[in-house]
Structure 1
Amino acid sequence: MMKGPDTYKPVLKDLANTMLGISRESVSLMKRSDQQRSLKLTRGQEWEIYLEFLRVQFNLVDRLSAFHIPLQDQPEFMNSLEDNVTTELRAVLTPTMSAAEVDDMEVTLAVGKTVAESRQIYERYKFVVTEQSKERDALFHAFAARVADKMGAGKSDGLASAAFLCASSVVPALSKLFEDASNPPSPAVKTEAVEAVASAVSDERSASAESKSSASAESKSSEGAQIIKLVRVMSKISGEEVDSWWGIHPQFQRDLQPQEVKELAKHMNRVTRIIGERFAVVASLAQAGSGSDQPVGNA
């Protein structure tokens, strides 16, 4: 459990950036799930959908903080999170909007109102946030209905399902930020894991491109560069089931110390879970509304 105001600063900044990023990505996913309707959305409607994703995330973070923040510090922690989100949101809006369009007071009031409404709308649901339950699903269903309504879709099952999946996949990502702040991993192992994942993803994209152009593959091969896949994360979907797993190069594994293997496995299990859940969201959106020839983003 984290203790002391100073220890909260890094996780508060990470939470704020993550929440804003999730809201932005989720709005894009919702628009892709119903492309015809998205063309009719006004700027004001998109803003309201964005804020709705922030509302539910504030509630989820409030619930998660109970596992990691001392009870007496929780009110101050949530107030500080509100301040951090406000600051980061201003920074996000400023490059894309004119000075006349970005009013600091309006941003502050909008975030403050979002937090207050988050409590009014979602606090009445009683459940353990880290466990799947009917009550937790009830919150996500209520949230999904609000998003569909803000998109002018009423009781659209497709949009509601997409919003439900987006919100439910948020919990592991937010929870991981708290866990990493409470138990900082070994910097060396954490760096290795992150770089390995990035390398694997980059290599998979390269492999996909090479399969479309043998000439390109031959030219790369002739350069003499050697690419070794150290760690790979994969997901597949079969019907309604999504299976995700990761693997490690045998030689790379032999070169690691037992404790390093243990820590790497711990982080890769988390990474695989998060990637798998995001893949499930993207795959569901593709099946629900996107055409088979339309790109649906990266899991």
Structure 2
Amino acid sequence: MGKTPYGAQQRSLAELMLAVAGESVTVMKKNAPEQAMKLKRQDEWGLYLEFLKVMFNLTDRISAFHIPIKDQPEFMNGLEDAVTIQLKTVLEPAFGSGVDQSEIMMTIGGAVAESRQLYERYRFSIAEDSKAKNEMFDVFGGRVAEALGVSGHPQITSAATLCASAAVPAITAILQGDAPPMSTGMAVQPTSASMTHMETASAPQNPTGNEIKLISVMSTVSGEEVETRWGLHPRFRQDLTQEEVQQLTKLMNRVAKILGERYASVAFSDEWTSWHKAGHA
């Protein structure tokens, strides 16, 4: 990829997108542990790509507010190249010189093409809540649930939507030339998913000192009642616009309801009687 005025932003976005995709796959597997055990590496890679597809779409929408219209096609093409290069870098520790960049390029190119086919039809502003926006995220969440093998699972679709939506402030910050992606608290940890035809999963990186809990969810039990609360890191809340806070509040209220119900079913089961005092959802 040659030098462009947007090279630094494209590299930062590529790192962020891979980090979000990898972390999101982990979150999905934790929300459906039994199904996660049945996943093959190709299935996990497909799940990873679903998050990359929606990330390309979200970045395209947000970039419209920060990149001149005449530069947008070139910017998105450059981002596609940056993601390809970054993914090759991530996979190299496991595969060495055996990583086929042309195969990665074809895979990412196919993901971008499918992203356009799936999501460009929905017309909405990323900063506003709208029927079209909700419909797109519903389609995305449905595809994630299907890729995980639990079609229509409401907990998975909601969690997938939350993961994708939570990246919007970080994407915006990069395009504004502000904070780098690591400030979002997302560690760059590639998923264990491997590319089709690749036999070994990439080894995750384990950076230290750069992980921050931005959102916490706590469930407590009092008698026969379960209370589930959530909160934001104060600095993270300050960085959000009013519209982003409203959107995140709506999503987290849904997540807290799902987690609270799940925690209640576990907390009041015979096997977990000893956990009735308090615990994390």
In structure 2, what residue type is equivalent to 1:32?
A: K
* Aligned counterparts of 1:86 and 1:175: Cα–Cα separation in 2: 21
* Aligned counterparts of 1:120 and 1:131: Cα–Cα separation in 2: 22
Q: Does residue 246 of the first structure (1) align with residue 243 of the second (2)?
A: no
Q: Among residues 9, 12, 20, which one is paired with 2:10 in the alignment?
A: 12
Q: Among residues 55, 61, 67, which one is paired with 1:63 in the alignment?
A: 61
Q: Does residue 150 of the first structure (1) align with residue 138 of the second (2)?
A: no
After superposition, the C-alpha distances for 1:71-98 in whole angstroms (9 at most, x for unaligned) are 1100000000000000000001111235
Q: Which has the larger radius of gyration?
A: 1
Q: Among residues 239, 253, 263, which one is paired with 1:270 in the alignment?
A: 239
C-alpha displacement of 1:240: 7.4
Which shows bigger deviation, 115-124 or 158-167?
A: 158-167
> What RMSD, in angstroms, separates the aligned Cα atoms of the two structures?
3.6
* Aligned counterparts of 1:27 and 1:67: Cα–Cα separation in 2: 29
Q: 1:283 to 1:26 in 2, by over 3 A?
A: farther
Q: 1:236 to 1:31 in 2, by over 3 A?
A: closer
* Aligned counterparts of 2:63 and 2:137: Cα–Cα separation in 1: 19
Q: For residue 257 of structure 1, what is the aligned residue in structure 2?
A: none
In structure 1, what residue type is equivalent to 2:122?
A: Y
C-alpha displacement of 1:115: 0.5
User: Secondary structure in 1 aligned to 2:234?
Assistant: strand
Q: Percent identity?
A: 38
* Aligned counterparts of 2:86 and 2:239: Cα–Cα separation in 1: 26
Runs of 5+ in structure 2 lacking a partner? 186-212, 220-226, 268-274
Q: For residue 210 of structure 2, what is the aligned residue in structure 1?
A: none
Q: Among residues 75, 100, 103, which one is paired with 2:100 in the alignment?
A: 103
User: How many residue pairs get matched?
Assistant: 226
In structure 1, what residue type is equivalent to 2:50?
A: E
Runs of 5+ in structure 1 lacking a partner? 199-231, 248-266
Contact 1:148 1:159 survives alignment (8 Å):
yes
Q: For residue 165 of structure 2, what is the aligned residue in structure 1?
A: 168
Q: 1:89 to 1:73 in 2, by over 3 A?
A: same
User: Secondary structure in 1 aligned to 2:125?
Assistant: coil
In structure 2, what residue type is equivalent to 1:21?
A: A
Matches within 5 A, 1:82-101: 82-97=80-95, 99-100=97-98
Contact 1:33 1:285 survives alignment (8 Å):
no
In structure 1, what residue type is equivalent to 2:129?
A: Q
In structure 2, what residue type is equivalent to 1:35?
A: P
Contact 1:54 1:114 survives alignment (8 Å):
yes
C-alpha displacement of 1:118: 0.6
C-alpha displacement of 1:237: 6.3
Q: 1:289 to 1:147 in 2, by over 3 A?
A: farther
Q: For residue 48 of structure 2, what is the aligned residue in structure 1?
A: 50
* Aligned counterparts of 1:175 and 1:151: Cα–Cα separation in 2: 29
- Give me the TM-score of the superposition, normalised by structure 1: 0.65
C-alpha displacement of 1:65: 0.9
After superposition, the C-alpha distances for 1:30-77 in whole angstroms (9 at most, x for unaligned) are 000011110000000110010110000101111111100111100000
Contact 1:33 1:286 survives alignment (8 Å):
no
Q: For residue 227 of structure 1, what is the aligned residue in structure 2?
A: none
Q: 1:241 to 1:176 in 2, by over 3 A?
A: farther
C-alpha displacement of 1:177: 1.3
Contact 2:217 2:280 survives alignment (8 Å):
no
* Aligned counterparts of 2:134 and 2:229: Cα–Cα separation in 1: 18
- Give me the TM-score of the superposition, normalised by structure 2: 0.69
Matches within 5 A, 1:178-217: 178-179=175-176, 181=177
* Aligned counterparts of 1:283 and 1:13: Cα–Cα separation in 2: 34
